[in-house]
Structures are given as C-alpha cells and as structure tokens.
Structure 1
Amino acid sequence: MGGAGERRETLVVELERLRAEREELDSRIRTLESQLEASSAAGGDAAGAGAAAAACPRRPGNGFTPYDGLSADMIHRYSRHLLLPDFGVEGQRKLSRSSILVIGAGGLGSPVALYLAACGVGCLGIVDGDDVELNNLHRQIIHKEAYVGLSKVKSAADTCREINSSIMVVEYHHTLKPCNALDIVRKYDIVVDATDNLPTRYMISDCCVLLNKPLISGAALGFEGQLTVYHHNGSPCYRCLFPNPPPVAACQRCSDSGVLGVVPGVIGCLQALEAIKVVTDVGEPLSGRMLLFDALSARIRIVKIRASSAVCTICGENSVFTQEDFQKFDYENFTQSPMSDKSVPSLDLLPESARVTCKDYKKLVNNGEPHLLLDVRPAHHFQIASVSQSMNIPLSALEEKLHMLETSLKETMDASSSNKPPSVYVVCRRGNDSQRAVQILHEKGFLSAKDIIGGLQSWAQEVDPDFPIY
C-alpha cells in the first residue's frame, strides 16, 4: 500500500509540473500570435481596417469571406443569431468586427466577458489588476478554484478562449488609472464599466467622454442592481447626474455590505446585452433611461434620467477639461475614497493611551485580567464569527443599550477576586467603528474603554490565524 501511495504522489507531482509547463507554453504562444497579428495588421492597408482593428487584430477563424459572406464555421456557430430577423447576418457581422473593453473581471465583468466571447465579439479587452480569491467565486463565475491566487485577467481570458477560440482576447494585467486609461480605451469601440468603486466610475466616464465612447455602466450591491448607457445618443455622462460625489458614508462596496451572487450576474448579463445592442444598432439601448433591479421582489423598473447637462464640467458645451487635465486628475481625492477595497482608509480618532494592539490584548487575556470585550459589529456580522466571551452591542444601538454594558461590567466585577474595576475593550471588523464606539463610551463616562487596533482582521493576522476573515 505504501508503494502505491508514493507512486500516486509522484504521478500527481509530475502532472502538476507538466500542466505548469503547458500553461507557460500556451501563454508564450498567445503572446507571439498577438505580436504577429499586430504586425500583419500594421503592415497592411490601415484605411479599411480602422484603428480598433489595428489595436485588436482578429484571428482568421472569426473573419469573413472576401464578399462579406459568413464562413461555414461562423454560420454553424452563430446560427441561432442568424435566425433572428432583427439581428441576422448584418448584426453578427457588426458584432464580429467590433472591439469591446470590459473594465473589471469580477461579479459584473464575469458574465459580460463570457457572453461577449460566446456571441462572437471581434476583439475583447479585459482590464483588472487583482488576483482571484476564494471569496470571489460565489459571484465571479468566470473563475475556477484552480485559479485562486492567480491573475483575474489571465483566468478570465483563458475561460473566454476556451469558449470561443476564434475571437481575439487582449489582457491588461493592471488597474486602470488616469495615466494609462486613455491609451487603452481609445483602441475600443465600446466600454463596459464592471467596477465597484466611486473614483473609478468617475474616471471611466470622464475618459469615455474625452474619447467619445459609449459607456455601459452597471452596479450591484446587496439584493439590488442598476444599469444604464452613458454618453450615447444624447444620454448624460456620469458627472451630469452626479457632479459632486456623495458622502463617503453613503458609498458602499460588496466587501463591506455583501451581495447575493446572482445579482451581479443578472446585471452583468444585461450589460452584455446593452453592449451588443449598441454595437449592432439593434433594439433600443438604455440611453437616457436607467434600469433598477430588485432581486427580493423580482421587480424591474425603468426610470427616465435627464439628458446631457449643458453645464457639465466634462461633457458640457463649454467644458475645458482636456486629456492632459484627465491624466493629472486625482479621482481618489475628489471622491475621498480609494479605488481598491484592499486599501480601506483607517481612521485615527483616539490617542495612543486609548488603544491597544491585538497582541497586547491577548496578553491580558492570558494573564487573566478581568475585563469586558465589547464587539460593536452588526448582529449578523457577530453571527458569522466572534471572539469567545465577547459581548455584542452594535454601534448603531450603543447609546440606547448602555445599561446592558453597565450590567455586564457589574457581573464581571462581582465574579472577579480583584478590587480593580474591569476595563472595557472594544473590537469591530477592521478597527474603525470600534474607535467611534470608544469615543461615545468616553463621553458617557466609561473612561476605561479602549480600542483594539485593526479589529478582528488584525486579530486573525497577528494572533489567531484560524479565525475566519470575511
């Protein structure tokens, strides 16, 4: 039995080695193919090809015959499209000659990229600077467990190529920023915003206005989603609707508030649909209208939004915002929020004397020092995971439930052999709400209250690696 086990382990190791070599070879082949096709496109007749075609060369398998008829393979692959009277050969021809950029390979970008690839878009660009994480997979259906820890763009591009090897997929393994956005976006006919943060939304919209590109914008949070088409057929840009960013407290992300996995899937499918409608001139795109989706009630509403604003600082008649201004603009400072949820701003509201590190708190627990641990996260967060012996009073209800804290402190004092009054240590998810709670407690006379720096996230990193991070 031991020999069989060792043999199996050897085979598994060898298999993994060969897979890694194949992956590297595939990557090199794709790179060389792209370079070769780009060179061929640049050396040919550029007048008929167009700028997007030069930037995004297509593979021969997705092309047309010299007389603009569809190849036999394309007729077979896209036959269900061709049977639609309002789409037909002309719709497929336009789609197969188009180039669409998807910014974000997450919950929204996954179905967008999958459907555009499957439907036969000529060139599909994908931009994302993040890696695949396990907690992405419930909603980011383009990725597989095997890609956890690897680039999202690589994972998404590989999946798209597996679905349709005849299309060109261009990978951008970095975050879109003002310094690189213009060069990337200008190569594409249509842009799909599949991101989830405020500064990036403003940046993408401004970029599309400057380059005169239609923008398919979607959002999903919790059980709700929305969708519209900006800067197309007289529709407004993002800044027309929101000239000033909302307060930071009003800006929520999936990483903070959660999202049901299928909700971005629904919105992402609709984004792919709108992109196809815009590029093929089929149907009535959501220009000047916004779709609102409520998953819990299964309701979809379409509301009218105003036309482009004549006084918009970006797309208005007298706008002086240039490409040079765009490249210098600080979108994070403008919105007071980060582009990445990996860099959540950390508050600094308390003096050092009112704060302790997770390691210091662990030491006082080990020493048996009488105290009370107050967890101020919402109740449903507390149900996910908590430190033993902690008491939960959500920050939103803290002032009205101070009597519960007083009762618990008295019980802790009565159970202790020490004459020293027990201290209160406050913890939250990341160390921001706990500081606010300590401020409230100090104002209400609980002067011993101290904040645990970094919250449960730091607790998992510094003290208990088995504590679940969510």
Structure 2
Amino acid sequence: MIALTDDQLLRYARNILLPEVDVIGQATLLASHVAVIGVGGLGSPVIQYLAAAGVGHLSLVDDDVVEVTNLQRQIIHDTSQIGIAKVASAQAFIRRLNPEVQVSINAEALTSANGAAILQDVDLVVIGTDNFASRYLANTFCQQLQIPLVSGAAIGTSGQVSSFDFARQATPCFECLYPKGQDEQLSCASAGVLGPVVGTIGSIMALEVIKILLHIGQPLFGRLLTWDARVMDWQTFNYGRAKNCPCCTETPL
C-alpha cells in the first residue's frame, strides 16, 4: 500500500473521512490507472472528478481538437485552447488541478491496432465518445483483458450510464445491451445537448469509476440508469447477457 504524505492526507481529507474510503481506499485510488476514452462533454467531468479524487494515473484518448462549439459543455477546455489537441488541453487542466496525477495522452482514436498498447496496465476504462464504433471496440478490449468498463451517453436533455464487470463469468457486455445494427447514429453535433446534462451524466460516470476501484456500493453492473432531465425522471433497467452475443462468444481481435 502507498504511504500517504502529509500533503496528501490534507488534500484528500474529505475522502479519507468516509469510512468506505479511509486511508486504504485513498491509497488504492493513488495507485490506480484509468483510461478515459473521449475528452469532451462527458470526459470533462470524469477527468475533473477523477483527478481531484487522486486517481494516480490517467490515460487520455481522443483524436479531436478544441473548437469553439465545444466550450458550451466541455468545461475543462477554454477559449485560449481552441485549435489544440483535446488531450493536451486536458493534460494542462489536470496539472493545474492536481499536479501529482500522472497523465498519458494519446491524440488518436482507439483502434484495433492501438487498443492493446493504450490499455496496457490499465485498471479500468471509462468511455464517453459520441460514436458506437469506439464503444464496441472498447467493450471488446475490456472483455478480453478483463478490465471493468464504465460507459455513459448523453444527447439533448437525456442521458444514461451502465458499467460492465468483465472479471466475472457470464457478465453482460455493451453489445449485449446494444446489439450492432440497433444503435442510433445521433451525436451532439447533429442533435444538440445541454451542458448540465453531460455534466450530470459525466459525474455519475466518475462516481461509478471510484466505486468500482474501491469495491464499494453497488455499481451499475447489469443495470442501465437513464435520466430525462426535462422532468427529472430517473429509471433503472436490469439486463442480462445476450444468448447469442457475438462479442461474448467470439475470439479476440
């Protein structure tokens, strides 16, 4: 276990006061390595809260650059960073917030060619991209490597979150929940989204990450949490492993 310094005991005091966390849990966070795929609207609150909580190593994956249209919701970026890589902008934000967090940046999309290298030695993957291809790919890698996966999505005034525990046998995967060919192709760029919606969903994703890393509470394994912000309606749906899911039965990439 990592021995916390006096500065760390002070910085993370409000975490440590929680009996579910304590010094041991905080040391676990400091020793954890999380990959964040997508450094946009959902990735912004995920990165903020994981860096603030003291997750020791964050690997950021995104091939996009900061644009003015991002600034309405992607709150780790600002006007001065328009035109630079989102992962570089996010790295600068993390250094200002919590300099002791190690940051690895990958200014590229997750692919079948680079996924194994990017996810090497990662304890958990959290994804908030706005395309299903990257989600299916992350799902496949996480299943093969037995890495937990947290997935969130938001569009318009609604959002959803679910988590996947690939260390357990017969656990459902992302493709069990969303079979290929049944996914929608909507994106924030085409349909719009309110900033606080991605902020709320991203915060829940960050909470799921911390719960899974610390083995506390009841993560959303086999459960889909949905939110309609217009009427403040939260619902949870249970789901299981699909009998003929190709991802669960096929061999590696």
By the TM > 0.5 criterion, same fold? yes
* CA displacement 1:226-267 (0-9 Å, x = unmatched): 0000234454111112333226xx421111111011111111
8 Å CA contact 1:115, 1:269 repeated in 2 = yes
The answer on 1:309 being equivalent to 2:242 is: yes
1:64 aligns with 2:38: no
Task: State how far apart, in whole Å, the 2-side matches of 1:320 and 1:195 are.
Answer: 24
Q: Distance in 1 between matches of 2:180 and 2:250?
A: 18
Contact 2:175–2:247 (Cα < 8 Å) also in 1: yes
Residues 86-134 of structure 1 deviation map (CA, whole Å, 9 limit, x = unaligned): 2111211111111000001000000001110010001011011110000
Contact 1:222/1:260 (<8 A) preserved: yes
1:310 CA drift (Å): 4.6
Read off the aligned partner of 1:83 and give its amino acid letter.
L
Quote the Cα distance in structure 2 between the aligned partners of 1:209 and 1:101.
15
Aligned counterpart in structure 2 of residue 103 of structure 1, from 37, 41, 64: 37
Count residues with an aligned counterpart.
251
TM-aligned CA deviation for residue 279 of structure 1: 0.6
Instruction: Please tell me whether residue 241 in structure 1 is matched to residue 177 in structure 2.
Output: yes
Query: Following the alignment from structure 1 to structure 2, what is the Cα–Cα distance between the partners of residues 110 and 243?
Result: 27
Which of 128, 151, 165 is the matching residue for 1:217?
A: 151
Counterpart of 1:193 (choices 114, 120, 127) is: 127
Once the 2 structures are TM-superposed, how far is the Cα of residue 84 of structure 1 from its aligned partner?
A: 0.8
Does the Cα contact within 8 Å between 1:103 and 1:192 map onto a contact in 2?
yes
Runs (5+) with no aligned partner, structure 1: 1-62, 327-470
**Match in the other structure for 2:86:** 152
Listed one character per residue, the Cα deviations across residues 48-87 of structure 1 (whole Å, up to 9, x for unaligned) are xxxxxxxxxxxxxxx933xxxx211111000001111121
What residue in structure 1 maps to residue 194 of structure 2?
A: 260
* CA offset digits 1:336-383 (Å, max 9, x no partner): xxxxxxxxxxxxxxxxxxxxxxxxxxxxxxxxxxxxxxxxxxxxxxxx
TM-score scaled by length of structure 2: 0.95
How many percent identity over aligned positions? 41
Is 1:119–2:53 an aligned residue pair? yes
Higher relative contact order (CA 8 A, sep 6+): 2
1:184 alignment partner, one of 118, 137, 148: 118
Matched residue type, 1:88: D
SS in 2 for 1:137: helix
The reply to whether residue 167 of structure 1 matches residue 105 of structure 2 is no
| Aligned equivalents of 2:228, 2:171: Cα separation in 1 | 24
Q: Indicate whether 1:321 and 2:242 are aligned.
A: no
Q: Using the alignment, how far apart are the partners of 2:28 and 2:2 within structure 1?
A: 11
Partner of 1:228: 162
Structure 2 residues not aligned, in runs of 5+: none
What is the CA distance between 1:178 and its match in structure 2? Answer: 1.1
Give yes or no for contact 1:105–1:153 (8 Å, CA) kept in 2. Answer: yes
Q: How do 1:370-449 and structure 2 match up within 5 A?
A: none
CA distance in 2, matches of 1:154, 1:227: 26
Write out aligned runs for 1:87-102 (5 A): 87-102=21-36
- Residues 110/240 of structure 1: CA separation in 2 closer, same or farther (3 Å cut): same
Preserved CA contact (<8 Å) 2:2 2:31: no
1:84 aligned partner: 18
Q: TM-score, normalised by structure 1?
A: 0.52
Aligned 8 A contact 2:160 2:225 in 1:
yes
